[in-house]
Structure 1
Amino acid sequence: MSQENHAPTSRSKPPPPGEEDAAKLKLGEFQDVDTLTLSEASLVINALIAKRRKDAKGRPINETDVLIKTLEYLDAFARFKQKENVEAVERLLSAHKELTKFERAQIGSLCCDSADECKTLVPSIADKISDEDLQELLDEMAKLMST
């Protein structure tokens, strides 16, 4: 009994539809939409809940499972807890007009240690900001995390 070499019967799997090259930031209809860092989202949602509780005057408010899980997520991953620090980070990020709103929000949420790490996680910024400028931004943000 001889074994014949057969051509493979399968082919490589095509990429999923809509998959984009991360270095080319294409957000479709969300391209120019304002974005928030996780810390900003936490401030907004907590302020809204505080207002609802105040307006309810002791009556229970409807806090859904999704809202509770969202708050838990933001509490775990929002890097800046103090309102003043969140605002300071926003000012630092907003000064970099060469970056899109989405890129600034990603940088503000990820809080990378190095420019190299940041450019790996947010590849669309690779040619938009120098390593030195990015490292300076990350260092300034790190100072705000520790206060």
Structure 2
Amino acid sequence: MGMLQEFKAFAIKGNVIDLAVGVIIGSAFGKIVDSMVQDVIMPVVSRLVGGLDFSNYYLPLNGQGTALTLVEAKKAGAVLAYGNFMTILLNFLILAFIIFQMIRILNKAKRKEPEAEPAAAVTPEDVLLLREIRDSLKK
């Protein structure tokens, strides 16, 4: 079997299509979570901390002050953007938690209740009679 035929058999099984669908849905879901973190959660956290904008937290590595926004500071030189990292880390944690919950629900749905053991088959009367005859002949 040639490599082209093997690939065709692999693709027809649905593995490639399932993977593509998963990647597309995962990408869209990631954008939703990213928006939720940046547009909903981080402003609330920022408000609770005192109205600070985490996305502009950075340490300049080129000796300039921190009065510039992060975009301006990056243009001026190297910066350590720990506020942006905190936002992305929170984004990851939320995404990981949601995926964990989804997997948990799927695993619960897949779990089957243990099947009851089948009842012992009733031995037919003629077999019982034959066993009695056999036992009596042995004696």
TM-score, normalized by the shorter chain, greater than 0.5 = no
Report the TM-score, using the length of structure 1 for normalisation.
0.22
Answer with 1 or 2: which has the greater Rg.
2
